[in-house]
Amino acid sequence: MNKLRLYFAISSVIFLFVLAISPLKDFFSEWKGYQHEYNGMIKEMPQRIKPAEIGIKQIWVRKLDKVDRCNTCHLGLEEKALAGAKEPFRTHPHIYHNLEEFGCTTCHEGQGPATSYKESIGKVEYWDKPIFPREYMEASCGKCHKEQLVRQAPILSLGRKLIEEYNCVGCHKLEGYQRQWVPSLNGIGSKVNRPWLVNWLKNPKAYFSTTKMPNFQFSDEEVNILADFLMTLTSFPNNATLEPLPSQLVQVSGSRKTAMEELGSTRLREARCISCHPINGKGGYVATDLGKVASKVKQEWLYNYIKNPKHLQPNVEMPRFRFNENELAGVVAYMKSEYVDFDMAEPSAHTPDPQFYEKGLALVKKYNCSGCHELGNMKSYGELGPELSYVGSKKMYEIDFGQSGIDQSLSLYLFTKLKSPHIFSSKMKMPNYELGDEEAQAIVVALLGNTNEPIPEELIIRQKPVSTYAPQGEFGKLVNDLACFGCHTMFGHGRVVGTDLTLEASMAKREWIEHYFKVPYSLRPILTERMPNLFLSDDEIKTLVDYMEKVFIGDSLAIDITMNETTIAKGKLLYNERYACYACHQINGKGGFVGPPLDKVASRLQPGWIFHWLKNPQAYKPQSIEPNNNLTDQEAEALTAYLMTLH
């Protein structure tokens, strides 16, 4: 009986004790420790900072219906005085968004509701969105900012640009990206030499180091079959045919040949082909390398192509230079003699597979060549690879990591997949783009922003609809023939290699524009992409400038400037003293090299343009680095008056 009492006593004591453990654990929780530490820390500081009330704190992000409790421990997020404090108390660096409205995990990821370090970081089992490392942070911007260019997120913007440039939408379903123009394969058999094609298929970057064409890692057998198949594609789009080479190009020899080549060399330089085409890696970036082009393409094709590019490659953005027959022959002859690949590996002899056509067609379908290249009537479908619209919300259990042995994280998976596409399974068809670490990282950032989180429509900033501006009439024909959109933007349409022409007539004077077409000198000597000389006739120039004066004009930009001694003197003073414009601009050989020289600015620019530009440069050219000095109207007018004296 007494024994029973003893057992009863013991078990009762233990019973009460174990029941107290869990409340005690709560009492001494991690977050309380941080809050006490914070209160202790701010007491020592000279500034008066409001101490934290002990208790769990949270931000309820109403629009996204989620709760973040990070501020339970991160107590100094909005205390300016704590910029140098240790974590977790440090001030948050400048935030573009209101903390109360967006919370923390909207940008940082991690497990918002958690109240312990380990759980909130989110690197725990069954939580697939651990906190973003710094280099992937910008992915979160992409959740709402769906425009191509997000100014404060350079990595994200780069990633989006790369996704577009590499034409990922050729194989993957992904909203918001334009398909890129890629040379048509129709007629390739009449265009290239087979040895070049074999080498190209094996490793495109060996020929052109910055090509967007990826390495498909074909086997030698596949390369031969594909080359044989592609060489059968001899007819061009729209039933175009090749004109025979002119007689002066075929029969010429000796000193006449040298003279012809010299003419070609001069025209080639004047036409500034190098603005778009690199030559052995040096030069522009928008078009293919010409350094070894004579070994790549047949001479007949080259002659026909330069004569009328869009005839053989509709939609190509190459201007039709106004060469006469002699000049044309010279250019082709020069290229033929100069741009040869002397080291090109001769492919080993082979006998074509008797079924090469069927097998080649099967390979073309398997690797989805028509995803990028036009090829007969083959559909270009974007569903060979997995859809990427919500790739940022992929769960770990949806991913097959294979035998790769990498850490199970989505960002690392995507990065590894981009760098070595076949690592997770040898059956994968994705080609190798041979991306650098930074490029791959940028693409991952852009992809991670594609989530299926329920974000209310009012928070999403969409890409502005693509401009469909297409000029008509004589001007339109010229713009198409000269491929102006390949470098210039007009009313939101076109590339931004050169200037935006939308307000050109408000900006520049007619005489200057006309002169510029004839002698396209460089405003900024440091640029590589310079306006080519298109050898236009006076009539053509008149058509162009007439149209520009009617259309490329902003009515509100024209103003009258009072030119008198006082304003000019005041403007000069502002130029030299107050705003020190010479730090970037040159006048009479004095000043910096960042901006264009202002020597003859009065004969180039309209006064109204200068005035408005000075008031707010970014309004006209968002990426301009010209500072916005918040000039008053009087200051801008004075500066304009001064600049208008520089003829």
Partner 1 sequence: MDKDFKAEENSDAKKAPKRLAFIKTRTAARVKSEEEEMVMTFPNLVVKEIIAFQVMVIVLVLISLFVNAPLEWIANPDHTPNPAKAPWYFLGLQELLHYFPPVVGGVILPTLTVIALIAIPYFKINLKKDGMWKEHPRQTLTGFLIFVGIVSLILLLFRVYAMLVPTIMISAIMLIPYVSRREGGIVGWLGTRPLSWWVMTWFVIIAVVLTTIGTLFRGPEWRWTWPWQGIY
Partner 2 sequence: MKKLLHQLYRSQVWRSIFRHGLPESNRTRAEAVFYNFFLHVHPTKVRKRSVIFSYTWGLGGLSFGLFIVLVATGALLMLYYRPSAPQAYWDMKDLQFVVSSGQFLRNMHRWAAHAMVAVVFLHMLRVFYTGAYRPPKEFNWVIGVILLVTTILLSYTGYLLPWDQLSFWGISVGTNMIRAMPLGLGEKVSFLLLGGNIVGENALVRFYVLHCFIIPVAAIMLMVIHFWRVRKDGGV
Binding site for partner 1 (CB under 8 A): 1, 4-5, 7-8, 11-12, 14-15, 18-19, 21-22, 25, 126, 128, 395, 397-398
Over the window 495 to 514, marking each residue x when it contacts partner 2 by CB under 8 A and - when it does not, the resulting string is --------------------
24 vs 349, beta carbon nearer partner 1: 24
Examine residue 106 and tell whether it contacts partner 2 (CB under 8 A). Answer: no
Residues ≥6 apart with Cβ < 8 Å to 40: none
Examine residue 59 and tell whether it contacts partner 2 (CB under 8 A). Answer: no
For the CB of residue 20, give the shortest distance to partner 1 in the complex, in Å: 10
Piece of 76-84, 109-117, 424-432, 614-622 that binds partner 2 (CB under 8 A): 109-117
What CA–CA distance (Å, rounded) separates 164 from 176? 9
Piece of 18-26, 178-186, 540-548, 571-579 that binds partner 2 (CB under 8 A): 18-26
What CA–CA distance (Å, rounded) separates 411 from 444? 7
Strand (E) or helix (H) holding 270: helix 254-270
Examine residue 454 and tell whether it contacts partner 2 (CB under 8 A). Answer: no
For the CB of residue 117, give the shortest distance to partner 1 in the complex, in Å: 17
For the CB of residue 341, give the shortest distance to partner 2 in the complex, in Å: 58
What CA–CA distance (Å, rounded) separates 312 from 321? 15
Strand (E) or helix (H) holding 13: helix 2-27
111 vs 304, beta carbon nearer partner 2: 111
Piece of 111-119, 210-218, 477-485, 544-552 that binds partner 2 (CB under 8 A): 111-119
- One DSSP character per residue, 316-355 reads ---------HHHHHHHHHHHHHHS--TTPPPPPP-PPPTT
What CA–CA distance (Å, rounded) separates 555 from 553? 6
Give the position of tokens 């005690």. 24
Question: Helices 299-307 & 325-338, crossing angle to 10 degrees?
Answer: 140
Give the position of tokens 């790549």. 296
For the CB of residue 106, give the shortest distance to partner 2 in the complex, in Å: 16
Examine residue 115 and tell whether it contacts partner 2 (CB under 8 A). Answer: yes
Kindly list the distances between the CA atom of residue 302 and the CA atoms of 15, 305, 373, 534, in Å, as whole numbers in the listed order. Answer: 93, 5, 20, 18
Strand (E) or helix (H) holding 278: strand 278-279
Examine residue 445 and tell whether it contacts partner 2 (CB under 8 A). Answer: no
Residue of 6, 14, 56, 83 that binds partner 2 (CB under 8 A): 56
Residue of 126, 348, 521, 577 that binds partner 2 (CB under 8 A): 126
Give the position of tokens 């030698």. 220
Paired tokens of 93: 């660096």
Residues ≥6 apart with Cβ < 8 Å to 228: 352, 353, 356, 357, 360
Residue of 1, 2, 17, 26 that binds partner 2 (CB under 8 A): 26
115 vs 640, beta carbon nearer partner 2: 115
From partner 1, partner 2, none, which one binds at residue 8 (CB under 5 to 8 Å depending on kind)?
Answer: partner 1
Closest CA to 265 of 197, 199, 320, 337: 337
Q: Which amino acid is at 134?
A: R
413 vs 475, beta carbon nearer partner 1: 413
124 vs 461, beta carbon nearer partner 2: 124
From partner 1, partner 2, none, which one binds at residue 69 (CB under 5 to 8 Å depending on kind)?
Answer: partner 2
Examine residue 219 and tell whether it contacts partner 2 (CB under 8 A). Answer: no
499, 488 Cβ separation under 8 angstroms: yes
130 vs 214, beta carbon nearer partner 1: 130
For the CB of residue 111, give the shortest distance to partner 2 in the complex, in Å: 8
Q: 297 φ, ψ to 5°?
A: -105, 160
413, 399 Cβ separation under 8 angstroms: yes
14 vs 527, beta carbon nearer partner 1: 14
Half-sphere exposure of 237 (CA within 13 A, CB side): 17
Examine residue 6 and tell whether it contacts partner 2 (CB under 8 A). Answer: no
For the CB of residue 23, give the shortest distance to partner 2 in the complex, in Å: 6
For the CB of residue 24, give the shortest distance to partner 2 in the complex, in Å: 10
Paired tokens of 68: 């973040």
From partner 2, partner 1, none, which one binds at residue 270 (CB under 5 to 8 Å depending on kind)?
Answer: none
From partner 2, partner 1, none, which one binds at residue 116 (CB under 5 to 8 Å depending on kind)?
Answer: partner 2
What CA–CA distance (Å, rounded) separates 334 from 268? 9
From partner 1, partner 2, none, which one binds at residue 94 (CB under 5 to 8 Å depending on kind)?
Answer: none
Residue of 91, 116, 215, 299 that binds partner 2 (CB under 8 A): 116
For the CB of residue 116, give the shortest distance to partner 2 in the complex, in Å: 8
11 vs 251, beta carbon nearer partner 1: 11
What CA–CA distance (Å, rounded) separates 619 from 621? 6
Piece of 115-123, 287-295, 606-614, 619-627 that binds partner 2 (CB under 8 A): 115-123
568, 521 Cβ separation under 8 angstroms: no
From partner 1, partner 2, none, which one binds at residue 114 (CB under 5 to 8 Å depending on kind)?
Answer: partner 2
Q: Is 230 helix (H, G, I), strand (E, B) or coil?
A: helix
Strand (E) or helix (H) holding 155: helix 154-165
Binders of partner 2: how many residues, by CB under 8 A? 14
Kindly list the distances between the CA atom of residue 579 and the CA atoms of 491, 568, 576, 582, 614, in Å, as whole numbers in the listed order. Answer: 32, 15, 7, 9, 11
Closest CA to 330 of 313, 308, 307: 307
What CA–CA distance (Å, rounded) separates 475 from 484? 11
From partner 2, partner 1, none, which one binds at residue 148 (CB under 5 to 8 Å depending on kind)?
Answer: none
From partner 1, partner 2, none, which one binds at residue 56 (CB under 5 to 8 Å depending on kind)?
Answer: partner 2
What CA–CA distance (Å, rounded) separates 632 from 638? 10
For the CB of residue 115, give the shortest distance to partner 2 in the complex, in Å: 5
From partner 1, partner 2, none, which one binds at residue 7 (CB under 5 to 8 Å depending on kind)?
Answer: partner 1
From partner 2, partner 1, none, which one binds at residue 285 (CB under 5 to 8 Å depending on kind)?
Answer: none
What's the chain's Rg over C-alpha atoms?
Answer: 33
Paired tokens of 404: 């790769």
What CA–CA distance (Å, rounded) separates 205 from 216? 11
For the CB of residue 404, give the shortest distance to partner 2 in the complex, in Å: 24
From partner 1, partner 2, none, which one binds at residue 26 (CB under 5 to 8 Å depending on kind)?
Answer: partner 2
User: Under the rule (CB under 8 A), what is the footprint of partner 2?
Assistant: 22-23, 25-26, 56, 69, 111, 113-116, 119, 126, 397
